Every structure is written in structure tokens, then in C-alpha cells.
Structure 1
Amino acid sequence: MKERTAFNDNWLYKPSFDAADPFGAAETEGYVQVELPHTNKILPYNCFDEAECQFISCYKKIFRVKREWEDKTLLLEFEGVMLACEVWCNGIPVGGHEGGFTPFQVDLTKAVKPGEENILIVKVDSTERKDIPPFGNVVDYLTYGGIYREAWLTAADPVHLSRLFLDCPEPLEEEKTLRCSCEITARQACKAMVKVTLYSPQGDRVGEKTEEVALQQGKGKYLVTLSDLKGIELWEPDTPALYTAEAEVAVSKERDICRERFGFRLACFTTEGFFLNGRKMKLIGLNRHQSWPYAGYAMPRRIQRKDARILKEELGCNMVRTSHYPQSRHFLDACDELGLLVMEEIPGWQHIGDEAWKERSLKELEDMIIRDYNRPSIVLWGVRINESQDDHNFYERTNALAHSMDSGRQTGGTRYIQRSELLEDVYTYNDFTHDGGKAVFRPQPDTTGLEYPVPLLVTESNGHMYPTKRFDQEQRLTEHTLRHLRVINESLGREDLAGGISWCAFDYHTHGCFGSGDKICYHGVMDMFRNPKYAAYAYSSQKDPKRQIVMEPVTAASRGEKDGGGMVPFYVMTNCDFVRVYKNGKQVADFYPQKEEFPHLAHPPVMIVHLMEADVLSVFSEEDRLQFQEYLGKRMKEGTLTGLTQEDIAYLAKMAQKYGLDMRGLVTTVIKSAGGWGDASNNLVLEGFLDGRPVCRREIGEGKYAAGIVVKADDAVLFADGDTYDATRITVEAIDNMGNRMPFIQECVEVTLKGPGRLIGPARFPLIGGSSSFWVRTVGETGSLRVLIEGMTGKAECTLEIMAGGSEKGE
């Protein structure tokens, strides 16, 4: 049976390469010890030279293999090396790869000396080579460099299983059939017994089949079919049932086993929308880049998986697009487990190269489908270069290849040009129509140029149309939030749309010709540290309150923050039925969701349009009170309340005369309803109500001051003995005396670690918009890791337990 071992520890690295390196001895001078995943350069958060990570480097590993492996096939697999590499073992060239996003193997069998010391050299070219996708022209994202994903060494018998390809042709039938295509490698032709067993999510055996097959020399595929499978659970977003298929090949006394997870489900895009297992489902999601501050692409399993949890559990999305390349298997594993649907696409950005470039792109498409064939989360293959022009011959080939390899999934091709040629199954389109006006998405005929309907999915919106930082002025943050609400509302309301995947989940590094001049595109609803902007709550507030109650006021709660002054209007992102507001201890009013403006949202935002205390209007009749509140709300939305017109004066004079009120006092009351100007602090309490009872409460207002810093780790336990190092995010936040983040505080903090851990990135950094995050990683030792943070306004700390037991646990 084959043995597969992690090959991630005890690498040596130097940021240069010499022609003599592959043939050198085991010297370590000039190298530093590293572990995989590894980035070739720790970058600053922003304002760096993007060329800093574009160079050729050298990785060396000195290793031994067991003497008993002498007759085995030794395969070394790299999950991702950016961007190209060449590999030598004991001075012998053993292979290489071009392309940074898909896995590849090199065969060490003839070069390795079992029982002796071996020297492996990997030359890594991280320059932006024009002959390798996504490069050839400018690209709106950085790819960084290094051996940034894990590596594995496999010792295989003369007959061994490489992988399984699993299909269920009729997943909605009561009795199901599973076709298991077993990829088997044999050194010579022979007969073998192949047994396939299917296990339920609970580990119970639900089907089994054994067949004798005639193996050909070399690599081949052999089909084993399990029929009459009963009681099979379908893979659904809320109940993502994952089955395990285990294949065993036996020749004489030799056996080998391969396992793959699989979900039974039927996904289909039609002119009427997207259907999963026969039920129509609106797709609402975000795009994701796999990048982080400092470490670039090089993050381990737990951190990759966390992004899927953020998208599904925190933001409430049901779809993600892997823009613009195949992403970490750990991220996709979590999508399978959480029920998060995926559109996965080939590497690229607008540019199509020459014929050799196209051949590499086709190879990357093939490798992507091979790697991720069995994933139930993937419902669409992206077979065009993102936002490229039409290329009939090239895209005929990409579609034909995808369909020949996988007849069970549809294809899409992301474009931003209207009336693009449709060769794919789904017209996937980046629609940036919305600029804050009434138009949100184009009518389908204007988009496709076709006279008949086709399956249509919006794959980007917003993003560069309105880049927003966490520390921007309130009105920009508000508009950013509303734009995301509008595209969600439009996606849900349009019958001819399968849904919308907006741009994007997280801010990301880019080249100097994009972004905000500091090498960051601030297009995310979260920043690069995965800390939310207000727009994140546009998504999370749409969740069922049974899952989580959300109530987030989109305001600095200060009358000097808005243009023209005043505290209102402001929005509350919430899934509550209504919000009750108190000002300085006195009740103002109950405010309800904006259903008219957002008719298709499950939970429209609540707008707080005035701060007039309820008892002030008690002298008014019911009809006049409602009319007066409507008047206040209209003027607040127009932003004209603090600059009264002659029409306003006439209306207020009429109301004052009718109820015997002092005209000047009524005008003052109206001004105060916006927060006033020159008055004492306004402090507000917001109560969210569900089913007639208060379920959440927030205090905000002008009486705030810095009250210290708080710290929170995503995980309390890490593991020191997994396949590679473990890591977690820790977030620091400056809070006021009301418990709210202080977005404008100019605070710098310093981190000190005491115990078995290491920082990823700098130990001293500023808070951005009142908060920031950092990552700590394990170093192969167990024990308690104290994380101490000190800033101007206070100190905080948290403790992590570093345990043995493997990185697969504790998530």
C-alpha cells in the first residue's frame, strides 16, 4: 500500500539562484530554514514596490527515504508553486511546472538513493512571465511568489490508485447509481481485483461492488458501478451531506486504497434561474481573492478554511466565485462541508496570449477539473479568461475540453463586454451599470444582444465603481452599503437572473496601475484582515434571525461627521422587525424596514429619519403627527432639514398656529430632530424587536471617549503536529465607553508573544478604522501562548493553547 507523507518541514530557502545550486553539496550557508506554505517575501501591508516579490529563488531540502522503498515509485507533489519551477534531485533533473495555481508531480524514483542523504533543489521563478497565464499584460491582482502551498511525498507500489472520478447520472432518482472511474497505474499488464465501497456521512457502508479488471501497462481508468443505492441524502446548502467512496485495488498480496468525498446533487442553470435538486434558488455571493497582508498567498489550512466560514456563516452568502484562478483545496474543502456553492475559473485577467499561451491555459483548465472533479460545491466551470475579448476558436476549445472531461457540469465565461459571443452554457457577465442612480443591472437583451433568453448570472458588480476604506467618511460608507443592498435586491427581484456575485469579499493587493495608489484595491465589503466594513452587514443582515440577530447602525453617531451637520438620517442594517430609538433616555419612535425602496430583500434596512422625542408631538392629532413625521423624513433624506426653505417656514407656521405653539420653538424642535447644532451631546439607545419583544440593544452617541482596547482570537486551540504549521487570526479593536469600535482613533499597538508561537508580519502596526488583525502560527512545540497587546489607550491579552493531536481537529 502506498505511503503518503507531508513534505513541508525543514526546507532551506535563499532569495537567489545560481546555476551551480542543483549540483552543490548539503551546505546551508546563505539559506534560512522555512516551512511550507512559504512566501518568497514578507511584504508591508501597503505602499511597497510590487516588483519586490518578482524574482527567482532557490529552495533546498535534505532528506532520507526508507531503504524498503527501493522498489517503490516515489512521487513528489506540489500543490502550488508561483509561477514556474524546475526540480533536481541529487543533481538529476526530475521535472518542473509552469503555472502557479494547480498541483503537479515530479517522479523521484530514478534519482533518489534510499537509506542515504538526498538533496532536492527547486528553482522558483516568481517573475511575471508573459508566456504563462495570467500574465502577458497588466493584471489587477498580485500573485506573490514561492512554494506557497503544501508538498507531499508518496511511495507507491508497482500497482497503485492515483485518484477516483465519481458521477451519479440521475441524482434525483430514489434508487441511485454511482459510477466510480478508478485511475490505476501499473508497471506491467496484469489482472487485479477492484473493490469500491460507499460510506455515508455517518460512516455506514451503503454500497459495495467488486470486479476483476485487466490492467494495462501505464496509467488507465477502470469503471466500477454501484447500483440500486437507497436512502441517499442529497447535498444541500443547509445539509451538505458528504459521502466517501473508497476504492481498493489488489494484485496478489499487494493492495492499495484511494478515498474521495462526493455529494449527490443536481445543479442546473436555466433561462428561469438556477435550480439545485429541482428547487429554484437565488444565488447571492461575493468574489474572493486568496491573499492576505504580509504573507501573500502562503497561508495554511485553518486560515484558508476560515474564509469559507466568513462567507457562509458570517456574511450569509450561498455562492462564491474563485476570482480569477483555482484556489486552495482547503478553501474548497470547507465549501463542500459548509454547503457554499462555487464558480471556479481558470487563471487570467483580460489578456489572451499567443498559441503557446493558450495551450498552457487549456492545460490549467484540465488540471483544475481533474483536481476538483468530485466537489459538490462547484456548480460552474469558468472557461474564459476573466473579462477577455471574444476568441471563437480558443473558447470553443475550452468549452469542448470542459464538456468532454465533465458532462455533469455547465460552463460559464466571465465577460464585461455587452453582446459577447455565447459559447458557454451560462452567460456570466460583470455588470457595473450601477453608479448610485436608479439603474442597477442592464436588461438581458442589452447584455447578451440575443433575441431569446439564456441562463444569466451576474459575476461582478460594485467594486471599482465605489472603492471604500473602513475609515472613510460616513456618507461614503453609507452609500457603499446601499449599493450592495441595491444589487442584492435587484438580483433577487429579476426573474431572468440566476443571481449576483458582487465584487468583492476582501480588499486585495494589486499593481500600481490599479487600486488607490498604495497597492491595495479597496473593493471589498471587508478589508484585507477580514474585518467588516458597513457593507458587510448588507449581506449578514439578510440572514434568518434564527441563525443570528444582526443590528448594526451605519453611523459615527456624531452631528459633525455628515456634510451640513446633523446626526440623521442614518441606516441600521438589521434583520429585526423594527428598531425603537431613545435619545438621552426619552423614547423617540419606532422605525421600520424600507420595504418600498428594497421590496425583494428579506430584511430591508431601517432608516432613522429624526430624533424628535415622542412627547413633543403628543399635542398633534394622529393624522398630523404622521404627516409631520413624513415631512421630517422627506427633508432628512433630501438633506435639507437644517436649511429651511420658505415652503418649510410656511408649513411650520401653519402647524404652530393650529396647535397654539411658539413658531420659534417649533423651528428649534425641528432642527433638534436632526440632532441639533450647538446643543449638548445626543446619546442614543437602539432596541431591535422581533415578534413584539426586544432582542438586541446598542448604545451609540456623542458622549463617547476612548475606553481601551480589546483582543479576540478566532481560535483558542492550535495544533503543533499537523501536516504543516497551524495558525489563527487575532483581532485588536479600540472601543469607546459604549462598547463600540472607534473608527477615527489614531492608535498604534505592539504585540508580544510569550510561548511557542511566531508572528506572521510585524509586531507593531496601526489600527485601521479602529481595528486591525494579525496572525500567529505554531513552531512545532506545545504549551500556552500568551499574546500581549499594548497601545496608547490600554493593554489587552489572550492565551492560545498549542496542543498535539493534528491540525484536522479543533475546527
Structure 2
Amino acid sequence: MKNHFFLSFLFLAITSISVAQENLIINVYNRESQSLNGHWKYIVDPYENGYYNYRLEPFDKQENPDKAAFFMNSKLDNNYELLEYNFDKSDSISVPGDWNTQKENLFYYEGTVWYKKSFDYQIRKKSNRVFVYFEASNYQTEVYFNGKKLGMHVGGFTPFNFEITSFIKEKENFLVVKVDNKRKKEGVPTLNTDWWNYGGLTRDVKLIETSENFIEDYFIQLDPKNNKSIKGNIVLNGKNITGKKVEIKIPELGINKTYTSDDGGMVSFEIPSNKITYWSVENPFLYKVSISSDEDVIEDQIGFRSIKTENSNILLNGKKVYLKGISIHEESPIRGGRGHSKEDAKQLLEWAKELGCNYVRLAHYPHNEHMLRLADKMGMLVWEENPVYWTISWENEETFLNAKNQLTEVINRDKNRASVIIWSMANETPVSDARNSFLTRLANLTRQLDPTRLISAALEQSNYQNNPNIRTIDDPFAEVVDVLSFNQYIGWYDGLVDKCSNISWKITQNKPVLISEFGAGAKQGLHGDKEARWTEEYQENLYVETLKMVDKIEQIQGFSPWVLVDFRSPRRILPEIQDGFNRKGLISEDGKKKKAFFVLQDYYKKKTSASKK
């Protein structure tokens, strides 16, 4: 195989049956599609009677599945038959959306829910192919079409697709999806998280029709070693993909190049240009990029920029950038529950902009593609995170393969987004040999898939030379990452606010430092003494003192306080204060800003003014 510059589309061999799915079609965002969103029929199945017979044997392993299998969507042939389910007479639920906030009786439910959607479809051209594409489904998803199993997917926040060309009919198709959101020790994330385990088809579901041979994937970026050159690769999918002409157009750069695909249906290219307008926070310029083959054409909006580190600095297009950030969970600020719409993403990013941010940390899992597309347009830098969180089963190879697969999927989806500058491997994971090996393997994978971005993780910290007033990053994984990051909660979990004035940091690695989290809980509207926990004044005072403290860290290049908006968490049960919400947001779940919001906003304004001098 040729030594291609980018390897992102080369899906590394996955040996785990738990992640058996087809190659991901990228840029579904700009492809012609038919939405399957709307009302779906659903059946709650905590005992999984629709999946197993009474001997606990899976129906989908049978050569001729029993009509009792829910994925058969069976109907009675006569009144003498016994059939104990009926999708058509069952309740409906909206897709996309989590079941927890749609159905009161499913608020805390963790288990299996079956979804069914019936539809007609007319293929535009006989030789065309059709795929069903899921933007995300939490957590383990089994997909059946017209009674045939297409495959399964594990992971709640990344897209997947299956081809249905040979099964689709003009009339009366039915798609049945088994979604199981039960938490598992060996899962990614694992059993214990500090966010809500929303279940269901939480993002869009759509049909994608392609030509027989189509453009499946591409990676088009500024050459990280030469900012006067655009490099990349394109991969075709189909039976007849060798020796095909592939054309790349970037009209605003006067680029119109034609290449020939190799034996694997791939094209590698390098195009010099002295006219490139670089994407930046101040000028988020996106080029219209068109890729076409004999049978297919796809367009995208791509920004060209470089991101590097040099000693303790982060360089965007060769210039130092200070990351004025905030962490964000993917909850809808409009209706509550898991966010999924463009409007949800727009509101969250607009609040971040109002705060004065040029950077957001999307925690603790991949967010909807809307977030990245809008960040591209709005000039917002982005940290994306793999959901390797807290106490993962480090020695379990299946767990690693699961994490590897989810990381590969988010990198493949978002590798052409200029806004994404950091891939995060993990959050707050305790140091051990097994953990270090696990994360190092993920980092090595990431550098293979995408050599153009930075790698980080929320690392562990400790006392420097046993001095409790001096902190340091004493984490072996610090040698692997490009950017040192850590979470600190001095004044909340670690003493009271006055402790901030006594703490300093001694960072021994010559790398940039980001504080990936700090904060305190406050109930919006609860006022009192600044030393009284849960008041807006306590949170406000913590921000004032924390900002003074972190400004003294020599290598500090930014931070992303925890968190933009209050979000649901079953860990947070204190009556009349938390009521099922993590209260560290600068904005309440109903959109009201707390006093600390304006402290950080003022700090970022001063940072902006200082940088202009």
C-alpha cells in the first residue's frame, strides 16, 4: 500500500464483535438524504423478551426467527395465533430524543427499548445504493431492516451506518432498532459518571442514497509542515473504484485538479498555494471544497489553519493564542434533556460567545455534529473528548477496542473541521501501569489517524516534593500529550475559597498548560454570604480568587471552567439545591445567568484588551 499522508479513513482492524459495523460515510451533513425523524413506535422490554426466547437464546441467531422476535414486526395471520406484542398499537415517541425526558415513567429507566419506523422509498436510480445512518444512539444498538439484522453498534455519541440496498422495497419497509442503555463496568464510559445516562435514538436518523461507486471519505487539511500547501486523501467506495478520475475544486483558490485513484480506490494529493486565507478566531474563513468522481459529487466547507505547540505556547497559524474557554455538556437549553438540534447547539455556543470565549471543551463525550459545524462558522476553538472517564476497565482488551472504535469514529466525523484543535483521550483517570498503556495506545492511534491536531487529557496532579501548598503534574501520561491539562477544585472539594491564595503550581514539563476544569456549585437565585456554600456569592467569590491563582501559573495558556449550564446528574440529589442537577453552571438550566458569569466575562474582556496592546 502506498504511504498515504493521512490515514484517517483506513479503519484499523477491529476484532471485537461488539463493535461490528460498516465503514463510516463522512459528511452526511451535506449529502442528499431522507429524514426518518418523527414519531416512532416503541416497546419497553426490560426482560428482553423480544430478543431472547425463554431459554435465553437470541432470536437473531436462528435461521428462521420466531414471530415472537420483536425485530420481525410480526402480524397475526388469524385469531388463533399467539403473539404478545404489536408495534402498531404501541405508544409513539419522538426521534431524535431521549426517552427519559419524553416519558415520565422512563425517567430513570435503564434497559432495552425497541423502536419501529415504517416507510416507503423510491430509489432514484436502479444502480444506486441506500444506507441507513444514525448520528448517535445510546448505548448498545442492534439494527434490523425488514426482519434482517444489519449489525450492531456500541457507544452513545458517535455515528454509524449500514447498507440496506438489497433489502429495501418501494412500499412497507420497516426499521426496527433495539437500544439498550444499561451501564456496564467494562463499558466506555463505565458504570459511574457525573451526567445523565439518556437512552434512545438521541440524534437524527436518515437514509442516504449514493451512486454505485461513491466518495466515502476524505481528509483535506493544511499541511502541518508547510502552510503554503494543502494535502489530503480521498477514498472511494464500490466495486469499480480503481483508475477512476477524481476532481478537487476550491474555486476561491483557483484550484481545479484531477487525479486517478489507485488499486484501493484512494487518491493522495498535495496542492501548493500562496493565496490561502487562514481560518482563525477573528476571521473564521471557510472555503467551498468540491470533490467529484465519474458518478458522485460532494461539497464541504473547510477552513485551513495550523495548530502547534512551541515550548509552553499554543500557536494558531504561528501566533500565540490564549484559550478563553468554558466546558459544555450536551443538554438542550430549549427543552431540557439530551440536546440534538442545531438550535440547541447555536444557543450554547452563543452563550459561550457572550461570555467572551474563543474556545469550548465539549465534555465528556463527542457532541452533535451541529456543534462543530457552527464552531467552524463562529470562530470557536474546540476540545473534543473520548468518553474514557474515571474508572475504566483498563486491563480489559474489549474495553480498549470499544474506546478505540469510538475515538476513531469521532476523528473520522470531524477531522475536516478547522475548529477542532484538541483530541482528548480521557478525563480524571487514576494512574496505573494498565491505564498508562491504555491511554498511550489511544494517543498513538490518534496520531496515526490525524497528525494535524494536538492531544491532551485531564491529567492527575499531586503535591510538589510533599509540599501541600505547591501542586504539580506528576502523571506519566504527561510525557505523551502535547498539552498538559488538569482539573482542580480548590475552594470547593479542596478546602474553602481562602485556600486559593496559598496554592501555587510547579510545572516541570516544558509544555503549555490548560486548566480543564474549576468551579463551584450555586443555586441560581440563592443569595447570601460569600462564604455560604451554594449561594451565587460563594461561586462568584471562588471565580474571583481562582482567576488570581491561575494567573500565577507560568505556563498557563487558558482554561475551561466547569461548566456553562447546569445539567442533570443522578449523583446530585440534595433537596432544594441540586434536585438532580449539577449546579456548577454559570447559567441555570432555565437560562438565567449567575453572578460568576459576569466575573468570568469581565476577565475575558480584559484578556482580549491586553492582547490587543
Do both share a fold (TM > 0.5)? yes
| 1:461 and 2:484 correspond | no
Alignment check: 8 A CA contact 2:187 2:392 kept: no
* CA distance in 1: counterparts of 2:340 and 2:436, whole angstroms: 38
* CA distance in 2: counterparts of 1:87 and 1:426, whole angstroms: 39
Instruction: Show the counterpart of 1:95.
Output: 151
Q: How many residues align?
A: 522
Question: What are the superposed Cα offsets for residues 245-285 of structure 1, whole Å, 9 maximum, x if unpaired?
Answer: 211011xxxx2012232222222234333222222222121
Quick check: 366-375 or 479-488, which moved more?
A: 479-488
* Pairwise CA distance, 1:505: 0.9
Which amino acid counterpart does residue 235 of structure 1 have in structure 2?
A: W
Question: What are the superposed Cα offsets for residues 66-123 of structure 1, whole Å, 9 maximum, x if unpaired?
Answer: 155543222111001011110111110011211001000112122222x232111001
> Which of 249, 252, 257 does residue 209 from structure 1 map onto?
257
Q: What secondary structure sits across from 2:579 in the alignment?
A: coil
* CA distance in 1: counterparts of 2:34 and 2:225, whole angstroms: 35
Which amino acid counterpart does residue 178 of structure 1 have in structure 2?
A: I
Over 3 Å counting, the alpha-carbon distance change for 1:205 and 1:168 in structure 2 is closer
Instruction: Show the counterpart of 1:525.
Output: 586
* CA distance in 2: counterparts of 1:238 and 1:172, whole angstroms: 22
* CA distance in 1: counterparts of 2:234 and 2:391, whole angstroms: 37
Alignment check: 8 A CA contact 2:38 2:96 kept: no
Over 3 Å counting, the alpha-carbon distance change for 1:441 and 1:14 in structure 2 is farther
Alignment check: 8 A CA contact 1:143 1:297 kept: no
* Pairwise CA distance, 1:59: 1.1
Over 3 Å counting, the alpha-carbon distance change for 1:289 and 1:236 in structure 2 is same
* Pairwise CA distance, 1:212: 2.4
Alignment check: 8 A CA contact 2:93 2:102 kept: no
* CA distance in 2: counterparts of 1:517 and 1:479, whole angstroms: 15
Counterparts of 1:193-592 in structure 2, within 5 Å, are: 193-199=245-251, 204=252, 206-216=254-264, 220-227=265-272, 229-250=273-294, 255-292=295-332, 295-312=336-353, 314-353=354-393, 354-390=396-432, 391-418=435-462, 419-421=474-476, 422=478, 423-434=480-491, 435-437=496-498, 439=500, 443-445=504-506, 450=508, 452-462=509-519, 466-475=520-529, 476-492=535-551, 494-512=553-571, 518-542=579-603, 544=605
Over 3 Å counting, the alpha-carbon distance change for 1:483 and 1:530 in structure 2 is same
Counterparts of 1:112-261 in structure 2, within 5 Å, are: 112-113=168-169, 115-135=170-190, 137-170=191-224, 173=227, 176-199=228-251, 204=252, 206-216=254-264, 220-227=265-272, 229-250=273-294, 255-261=295-301
* CA distance in 2: counterparts of 1:382 and 1:375, whole angstroms: 16
Which amino acid counterpart does residue 239 of structure 1 have in structure 2?
A: N
| 1:23 and 2:72 correspond | yes
* CA distance in 1: counterparts of 2:219 and 2:347, whole angstroms: 27
* CA distance in 2: counterparts of 1:440 and 1:209, whole angstroms: 60
* CA distance in 2: counterparts of 1:397 and 1:309, whole angstroms: 36
Alignment check: 8 A CA contact 1:8 1:35 kept: yes
| 1:6 and 2:35 correspond | yes
Alignment check: 8 A CA contact 2:322 2:557 kept: yes
Name the structure where strand makes up a greater proportion of residues.
1
Structure 1 alignment gaps of length 5 or more = 545-574, 576-599, 604-811
* CA distance in 1: counterparts of 2:282 and 2:556, whole angstroms: 22
Counterparts of 1:620-631 in structure 2, within 5 Å, are: none
Alignment check: 8 A CA contact 2:100 2:106 kept: no
Over 3 Å counting, the alpha-carbon distance change for 1:415 and 1:2 in structure 2 is closer
> Which of 99, 108, 112 does residue 52 from structure 1 map onto?
108
* CA distance in 2: counterparts of 1:490 and 1:410, whole angstroms: 26
Over 3 Å counting, the alpha-carbon distance change for 1:14 and 1:309 in structure 2 is same
* CA distance in 1: counterparts of 2:241 and 2:102, whole angstroms: 52
* CA distance in 1: counterparts of 2:504 and 2:105, whole angstroms: 42
RMSD: 2.7
Alignment check: 8 A CA contact 1:352 1:388 kept: no
Over 3 Å counting, the alpha-carbon distance change for 1:338 and 1:440 in structure 2 is farther
* CA distance in 2: counterparts of 1:143 and 1:302, whole angstroms: 22
Q: What secondary structure sits across from 2:95 in the alignment?
A: coil
* Pairwise CA distance, 1:340: 1.1
* CA distance in 2: counterparts of 1:361 and 1:32, whole angstroms: 35
* Pairwise CA distance, 1:387: 3.6
Alignment check: 8 A CA contact 1:168 1:177 kept: yes
* CA distance in 2: counterparts of 1:148 and 1:50, whole angstroms: 14
Q: What secondary structure sits across from 2:291 in the alignment?
A: strand
* CA distance in 2: counterparts of 1:2 and 1:102, whole angstroms: 18
Over 3 Å counting, the alpha-carbon distance change for 1:436 and 1:93 in structure 2 is same
Higher relative contact order (CA 8 A, sep 6+): 2
Which amino acid counterpart does residue 486 of structure 2 have in structure 1?
A: Y
Instruction: Show the counterpart of 1:580.
Output: none
* CA distance in 1: counterparts of 2:315 and 2:498, whole angstroms: 31
Alignment check: 8 A CA contact 2:71 2:176 kept: yes
Question: What are the superposed Cα offsets for residues 513-534 of structure 1, whole Å, 9 maximum, x if unpaired?
Answer: 6776622110111112232111
Identity %: 22
* CA distance in 2: counterparts of 1:265 and 1:78, whole angstroms: 30
- The structure with the largest alpha-carbon Rg is 1
* Pairwise CA distance, 1:444: 4.1
Alignment check: 8 A CA contact 1:209 1:225 kept: no
Structure 2 alignment gaps of length 5 or more = 1-29, 52-68, 76-85, 463-473, 530-534
Over 3 Å counting, the alpha-carbon distance change for 1:284 and 1:2 in structure 2 is closer
* CA distance in 2: counterparts of 1:461 and 1:84, whole angstroms: 32
